[in-house]
Amino acid sequence: MAAGPYATKYLAEHGATVIKVESLKNPDINRAYVPMAGGISGINRCGIFNWCNNDKYCMSLDLTHPRAPEVARKLVDWADIVVENFRPQVMERRGLGYEDLRKIKNDIIMVRVSSLGQEGPHALLRGLGPFLVGLAGFTPTLGWPDRPPIGPTTVPYTDHLGSLYATIAILGAIDYRRRTGEGQCIDLSQVEAGVTTLASAILDYEANDRDLKLVGNHHQWACPHGVFRCQGDDRWCAIAVFSDEEWQYLCRAMGSPDWSTDSKWATVESRKANEDELETLIEKWTIQQSSQEVMNILQRSGVRSGIVQSAEELVGDPQLEHRHHFRSVEHPEVGKHLVEAPAFVLSETPAELKMPAPCMGEHTEYVCTEILGMSDEEFVELVVSGVLE
């Protein structure tokens, strides 16, 4: 749904020819997710699908058809890399496991992005990103001490982390093949990709036998640390103070109120001991100004701060506009809409976003006749037989 598609999105935007294989019987299930453009349901109108599949071709191939392997073999013989995002053993059941692919092309690179890896006691566990967030250890960090943890979150963190690791692994495998002439199989676990971001928590447990606890927006070594209500409806600014020196910066930015000189605010430890009271006092200052004003004042004063932006504000953010982070593409069914560029810019070969996400089977004929070199007669026969849809 996301980990494999995002990895191939990065490659497509930097010049790779990426062919997405789906079928009407088994489309990418992202195509059924909301939101849909204009609130109108349709297999080509899903915002999430269109967000992570731009600059790819889509071929509609029914892999359950007895003749599908002959087309699949042509694809593998053409390709440098095969990326799959299924549960383990799905590709083997289709005769498309790594050993099967090597018989077609011995230097093929296969990327297997799954929930928990290809082997192990829980490898066959079914899961999606929001649920893998719990398995990866994120959930104990999300929530408040007096409430249950928040989860499963709607943000599939492990998908996004997994896609980055997959991209790096692909580049490493390509370099290895250039040097040795040999391909390889990349076995990526989304949960393990997520675990890598919790290094400090794991180290704390290993060294101090101290486990993660729900602390809301608070931080173990910082105070104040959280989001504070500002002027307006549901407007907030995030503030983080990690040292006593930064605390003095914050006090001066707020106009050095009388209460700020109390000794119980002098150190991080004493501020932590009175954190709720401190947040109430700070919010009496932030609520009098807009979130943008609070951020500007604090940033100029040397305090870490940032407004909590809505989707509308992100799209109009001047910094993101300057970096061309959101690009406009014209979709044949949805019309003009934004897609997201990579968060990195290569100075000599920057990403080029040229095509919208494909409609279902939009490029089947092009892939078969122009890329795979099938004759028109062969293509028509495969369509009539139901292999191609």
pLDDT value for 389: 87
pLDDT value for 206: 93
pLDDT value for 126: 86
Q: Would the pLDDT of 161 be above 90?
A: yes
Q: What is the pTM of this model?
A: 0.90
- Taking the C-alpha atoms of residue 160 and residue 348, their distance in angstroms, rounded to an integer, is 25
Domains of the chain: 3-197+316-385 (3.40.50.10540), 236-307 (3.30.1540.10)
pLDDT in tens, 77-124: 999 999 999 999 999 999 999 999 999 999 999 999 999 999 999 999
Q: What is the mean pLDDT of the chain?
A: 94
pLDDT in tens, 15-25: 999 999 999 99
Give the model's confidence band at 191: pLDDT under 50 very low, under 70 low, under 90 confident, else very high: very high
Tokens 């934004």 sit on residue: 338
Give the model's confidence band at 229: pLDDT under 50 very low, under 70 low, under 90 confident, else very high: very high
Contacts of 81 (CB under 8 A, 6+ apart): 108, 109, 110, 111, 170, 173, 174
Residue type, 204: D
Of the candidates 28, 55, 62, 159, the residue annotated as catalytic is: 159
Share of the chain above pLDDT 70, in %: 100
pLDDT value for 148: 87
Q: Give mean pLDDT, residues 56-84.
A: 95
- Taking the C-alpha atoms of residue 215 and residue 234, their distance in angstroms, rounded to an integer, is 22
Q: Can you tell me whether residue 336 is helix, strand or coil? A: strand
pLDDT value for 133: 87
Which residues in the chain belong to E strands, given as ranges? 19-22, 57-60, 81-84, 109-114, 185-189, 225-229, 236-240, 304-307, 326-331, 335-340
Give the model's confidence band at 150: pLDDT under 50 very low, under 70 low, under 90 confident, else very high: confident
Give the model's confidence band at 134: pLDDT under 50 very low, under 70 low, under 90 confident, else very high: confident
Contact 217, 226 (CB under 8 A): yes
Residue type, 27: P
Q: Can you tell me whether residue 123 is helix, strand or coil? A: coil
Q: Known catalytic residue: 187?
A: no
